[in-house]
Every structure is written in structure tokens, then in C-alpha cells.
Structure 1
Amino acid sequence: MSDKVGMVIISHSVKIANGVTDLIGQVITDVPIEVAAGTDDEEIGTSVEKIMNAIKKVDHGNGVVLFYDLGSSKMNAEMAIEFLGKSDVKIADHVPLVEGSYIAAVEANMGKSLDEVITALEKLQLPGM
């Protein structure tokens, strides 16, 4: 079990989410990362249930950062956090999916706390995203 901050990649597309995790996996292997992408019937979209399950898989007591591609993904992420009642799950808001998740993986791999990972991501925030 990892003692590092976990990550969930939320996308409307399974291919996009898997591509992001593949990219990260080329360099970082010790950070718990899960994909929550597509709908339950393999279509484009997101699923609150998939997000909740992914959070549970990567939550080893050190917090979890959620990354999303589009606005409705964020809405479903917010609902998942609310349903789980988790205060140590944070959404990487206004952060580009690829760059943000990569930086977060590097930071988490160095043993940074959830707050330290979020602080590092604030430098990547884009206005109006």
C-alpha cells in the first residue's frame, strides 16, 4: 500500500484518461492513480459511481487529488466527494489535465502532502477554465 497522495483522472473519454495515465506511468510508478472515464455503458461521459470507486481505490489515508477534462466532469467529482463525505479529497480546479496530473504525480512521488500538491498545482491554474 502506498503512503503517497492518490490521484484520479476523470475524463469523458477512456482513451484520454488512459493516455494521461500511460504518460505519467513512463516516469512515475509509485503513486496510486486510477481512471474514472466514460459512462457505465462505454459511451462518452462521466459517472459519479466510477469516480467514487476510483477514489476508494487510491485513498490510502494521505488524500486524493481529482483531475477532470470538462465542466460536467467537475460537477460529478463534486457529487462523488459529497456522497463519500471526504474532506481529504481535492479537485485540481482550473488546472490543465495533462500538465497538472503529471506535476501532481511528481510532487506526490516526492512524498509531498495533499496541501503541498495542491499548492504546486496553483501555479498552473488557467483563468476561466
Structure 2
Amino acid sequence: MSGDKTVGIVLVSHSAAVASAVAELARGLSGGGSGVAVAAAGGTPDGGLGTSSELIAEAAAAVDGGAGVAVLVDLGSAVLTVKAMLADGDELPDGTRLVDAPFVEGAVAAVVTASAGGDLDAVEAAAGEAYDYRKA
């Protein structure tokens, strides 16, 4: 557990509307997020579809409370953008981690776990376990 610091969550989608809606859903299903900083980084700065390292960096800085930042992404080029930013080393806060998880279910699990005080390892594990959620 991370004490009184919580892991920040960044949701990266090719669509600003999708990123915002998933953030709202995750907060709502976690009982309001209990102080977890969740930021949507969707689309391009001009409102188009795509990903933006500028928007991702701004979102990560906004949610960074010193306990790490978990970044969940929707599609392939978002993965590539975040990986490039992590490799660069100075665009994202220290302790930022790309989390391999399904976007919607992983976001909910990440926010729930962070709101319960889970550290970055616990948040990453919970989000990744969402791959095992059965729907039939």
C-alpha cells in the first residue's frame, strides 16, 4: 500500500470522447474514485482522432502524486506512442508505467485498486487480471 499517496491513472484513447467516457465509468464504478486522480488523454490537440504525446504528458503530470502513474491505452499506435515517451525518459513523470490490460475493464480495476490504496504493482496486476474476466 502506498500510504496517503495514490497511484494516478491515465487513459489514452484515439478518441477524446472514449477516453473521457471510460474515465467517468471507472470513477463511477469505483464509488467515485475516492481521491484517485484519473485523467483522459484522448485524440489530438485539435480534436481529431489519434494520439498526442503532448496530451499524454499533460495528463500524466496532472495525476502524478508521487505514487506512480499507470497508463492504459486503447489501440496499437497508442501503445507505440507511450513506449516512445517512456524510452525518451523525460516526457513522463518518474514512476510512470504502461499497463498491459484491456482498456475498459482494466481501467475500472485500476481505479478500484488505486482507490483502495494499492501501490503501482497492485494497480498493474489488477488491471492485467481483467484479461481473465469471462463474459460467457
Which band: TM-score by shorter chain?
0.7 to 0.9
Q: RMSD over aligned Cα, in angstroms?
A: 1.7
Given that 1:8 and 1:54 are in contact with CA atoms closer than 8 Å, whether structure 2 keeps it comes out as yes
Given that 1:10 and 1:68 are in contact with CA atoms closer than 8 Å, whether structure 2 keeps it comes out as yes
Change (3 A) 1:74 1:6: same
1:117 counterpart residue number: 123
Identity in percent? 34
* Helix, strand or coil at the partner of 1:101: helix
Out of 105, 110, 117, the position equivalent to 1:99 is 105
2:32 counterpart residue number: 28
Structure 2, unaligned stretches of length 5 or more?
none
Out of 68, 71, 83, the position equivalent to 1:66 is 71
Whole-angstrom distance in 2 between the partners of 1:77 and 1:48: 7
1:10 counterpart residue number: 12
TM-score normalized by the length of structure 2: 0.83
1:86 CA displacement: 4.5
Runs of 4+, deviation exceeding 6 Å:
none
Structure 1, unaligned stretches of length 5 or more?
none
TM-score normalized by the length of structure 1: 0.87
Whole-angstrom distance in 2 between the partners of 1:122 and 1:9: 14
Change (3 A) 1:97 1:85: closer
Change (3 A) 1:23 1:89: same
Whole-angstrom distance in 2 between the partners of 1:110 and 1:90: 19
Given that 2:106 and 2:128 are in contact with CA atoms closer than 8 Å, whether structure 1 keeps it comes out as no
